[in-house]
Amino acid sequence: MFAVIVNAVAVLVGATVGLLLKKGIPERLTDTLMKGLGLCTMYIAWSGALVGSNTLVLILSVAIGAAVGEGLDLDTRVNEGVRKIEKRFQKEGGTSLAEGMITSTMLFCVGAMAIVGSLQAGISGDYEMLFTKSVLDLIAAMVFASTLGVGVLLSVICVLVYQGAIVLLAEFVAPFLSTDVVSELTCVGSVLLFGLGLNMVGIGKFKVINYLPALIFPLILTPLLANIL
């Protein structure tokens, strides 16, 4: 859990610095920074998506995951939950608490480095990838907080819970995590991250949260389809 705590502290520090700088950054610059970070997010996502080799696993995972997410209406539920918290805070610069929390959480938690890095930390005690991710997240949190406001701070909780859960469970699920499974899981997560990048640059309006169940299905579909095909 040490690397996860370091990652969470990096996000906390970055977000705090970003909030302190927020008033001194012109709105035009914050908009440009957000779109630039969106482009970087799309590049990282595209690189991760190329790790996968079985397109059928990707298609079925996203399709089934989207159906489950829409059926549960995860996006609405999460937004409603965050807005209950939001009532305690004043909106800054017209940006809602929900937008800041959800956008930053998706970037910090859905990417390949979050998944693979947490698995490496839990299975072999290798912290290198999570330490590298911590540096990147610190910078991203600064930019996010300066543009999206105080909601970015709440993503620290999500980083701790999500990555911490992967680390703690990694040893138990290790027998089921072949190289192919990890690759396809990384691919699916990266595709979802690409959708987030499109939202950040203003091209798309994807309810990325509704696609999150897709992350479960590569664990099932990769070995299943390998046996069938």
Q: Per the confidence metrics, is the pTM higher than 0.95?
A: no
Round to whole Å and give the CA distance between 186 and 116: 7
Exposure string for 44-60, b = 16+ CB within 10 A, e = fewer = bbeebbebbebeebbeb
pLDDT tens string, the chain, 229 residues long: the values are 788 899 999 999 988 988 888 766 677 777 787 788 788 878 888 887 888 888 999 999 999 999 999 998 888 887 776 666 666 655 544 556 777 787 788 778 876 677 777 877 887 777 877 888 888 888 888 888 887 778 888 889 888 888 888 888 877 777 777 888 888 888 888 888 888 888 888 887 888 888 888 888 988 898 888 777 6
pLDDT at 194: 87
Q: What is the DSSP letter of 175?
A: G
Closest CA to 209 of 95, 83, 85, 68: 68
pLDDT at 68: 93
List Cα–Cα distances, 229 to 54, 56, 65, 221, in angstroms: 11, 11, 22, 11
pLDDT at 66: 92
pLDDT at 80: 74
DSSP 31-67: HHHHHHHHHHHHHHHHHHHTT---HHHHHHHHHHHHH
Angular region, 125: left φ>0, alpha ψ -120 to 50, beta rest: left
Round to whole Å and give the CA distance between 210 and 68: 8
pLDDT at 86: 61
pLDDT at 89: 54
Which token pair is 15?
């977000």
pLDDT at 62: 93
Q: Where in the chain are the domains?
A: 2-228
Closest CA to 41 of 108, 93, 122: 108
